[in-house]
Amino acid sequence: MWGISFGDGERIMKANKISKGTVVTGVIGDDVHVIGIRLLEHALELAGFKVVRLGVQVSQEEFVHAAIETKADAILISSLGGHAKVFAAGLREKCTESGLAGIRLYLGGQLLIRGMSWEDIGKMYKEMGFDRVYPPETKLSQAIIDLGSDLQA
């Protein structure tokens, strides 16, 4: 899911100075692809964020419950199976109904299996309430910089 290069380490460590917060991470739905989210979690911790790791095959309710319990600032979701639309639909509404109207939602990975342009995919998920949507080749450092910037706002 999340692209990484050897130059990312320095950028991630620099991101450590931007902002800190608590983030809930996991792979949504029936998806069991774990490598991308594990890399992201490690990079987030290096950057100074508290990471609440939910693992794979996480339901929307588990994301919301963990965010409430830990007073999280953001939920970062990974999906590589191409079915994120099915599993992520309605998450923003569940967050709002649970008192998490202001929580930041991030989604990244191989989000659809059909042939849409990345621009259209990103637009679709933003209309579903996600604050940031990342294609598979996104560098970890970019997501961390965005997260730090968003949480400062």
Please answer whether residues 13 and 64 qualify as being in contact, where contact means their C-beta atoms are separated by less than 8 angstroms.
no
Strand order in the sheet with 74-79: 50-53, 22-27, 74-79, 104-109, 132-134
From the candidates 33, 42, 65, 83, which is the catalytic residue?
33
**76's tokens:** 């970062």
Is 31 designated active site? Answer: yes
**Burial (0-12, 13-18, 19+ Cβ within 10 Å), 117:** exposed
Distance CA 17, CA 150 (A): 14
From the candidates 8, 30, 31, 120, which is the catalytic residue?
31
Please answer whether residues 85 and 129 qualify as being in contact, where contact means their C-beta atoms are separated by less than 8 angstroms.
no
Residues with a catalytic annotation lie at 31, 33
